[in-house]
Amino acid sequence: MRIYHGSKYIIEKPEYGKGKKNNDYGQGFYCTEDIDLAREWAVDKDRDGYVNSYDIESSSFKILRLNSPDFCVLHWITILLNNRRFELESPVSREAFKYLSQNFMPDLTGVDIIIGYRADDSYFSFAQDFVNGVISVSQLNKAMHMGNLGEQIFIRSRKAFSVIRYLGSERVSASEWYDRKKVREHLARKEYGRLNKEVYVKGELYMIRILDEEVRPDDPRLQ
């Protein structure tokens, strides 16, 4: 697997146990197979960065693919809830945290790599709206494909860190790539704004209905 990590630093040797604990999937090393996405992640306004390239032999690893048919968007939300700082503003959102954690938290025992959506500011706001009962599962699924914000590869185990092989780095210009990043995020937010979030859609699964009906992961309405 050829992977890329966008950063303000050159990172020749990713270290196990480093990184922020409150990132999407916890503490680890976040990468992508899309070098252009990595270039966007590398820069900030008026700050250049680097794309670091690596090979990782992943055939012997246990990989959790959150976008596979074995999982639904609620599994992704639940991992976020247990790592990111959500604003649980209502009794519904607080109950949602407990219910989803009990019923939709994937078993991460022995998992070396997680592949799934990345929760940039746009996607994170979509997830927060769902937990607070603003949008339905159907609307959330649509939102997760807006703006083509991409997947991320999360390296989490000591075993996986041990076989990452550094290939090199390239400098990335903020003047070229920051605007591309903002355009992508703006597109996602613009498309999300077109969703009719002010109207309750009868028959759809909102968080309150998931709680009331005790919806489980095998419910066909989640697919």
* Residue boundaries of the structural domains of the chain: 2-222
Which pLDDT band, with edges at 50, 70 and 90, does 182 fall under?
confident
Q: Could you tell me the pLDDT band of residue 143, with boundaries at 50, 70 and 90? A: confident
CA distance 62 to 32: 17
pTM of the full structure? 0.89
**Token pair recorded at residue 154:** 């999360």
Question: Residue 120: is its pLDDT beyond 80?
Answer: no
Q: Model confidence at 147, in pLDDT bands (50, 70, 90)? A: low
Q: Is the pLDDT of residue 13 over 90?
A: yes
Residue tagged 């704004």 (tokens): 193
Each residue's pLDDT tens digit, 58-73: 888 999 999 899 999 9
